[in-house]
Amino acid sequence: MGLIAGGHPTIYVSDFGASLRFYTETLGLALLERVGDEWATVDCGAGLVLALHAAMPAAPRPGTSGAITVGFAVTQPLELAVEALRARGVWFRGDIVDTARARLAYFGDPDGNDLYLTEAPDS
């Protein structure tokens, strides 16, 4: 058995409350655990759990492009998912991108952390 099994991406955020609302209310993810205004985990489904952490002096600066990228697999056609999130105020960075392996739609959270929606071509 390996030393690592699972885990979750940690996203450092500058405004904990705004970020928690974005992930739970805007994106509709379930809050699993919250420790004050410093730490929370949200369930994205299918085994993906994100950790939100208030910014700290020794941590990466929130919103640094490329510091973290998190993909969310969609449960409906990508166009419908994009449309639904746009209606909730999410701004997408360009058009849907078609690759050989997936269709992608890029956006960001309130700190500008890089996020994307993904749909497999055979979905």
Q: What is the mean pLDDT of each run of 10 residues along the chain (123 residues)?
A: 68 95 97 95 94 83 78 91 94 90 90 87 63
Return d(Cα 86, Cα 36) in angstroms, integer.
30
The pLDDT value recorded for residue 69 is: 77
The pLDDT value recorded for residue 22 is: 98
Task: Take residue 66 and report the two structure tokens written for it.
Answer: 């490329």
The pLDDT value recorded for residue 122 is: 66
Give, as one character, the DSSP assignment of residue 122: T
In order of start, what are the domains of the chain with their CATH numbers? 10-56+68-119 (3.10.180.10)
H or E element, residue 116: strand 114-119
Dihedral in degrees, nearest 10, Cα atoms 78, 89, 70, 67: 140
Q: What is the CA radius of gyration of the chain?
A: 15
Amino acid at 97: V
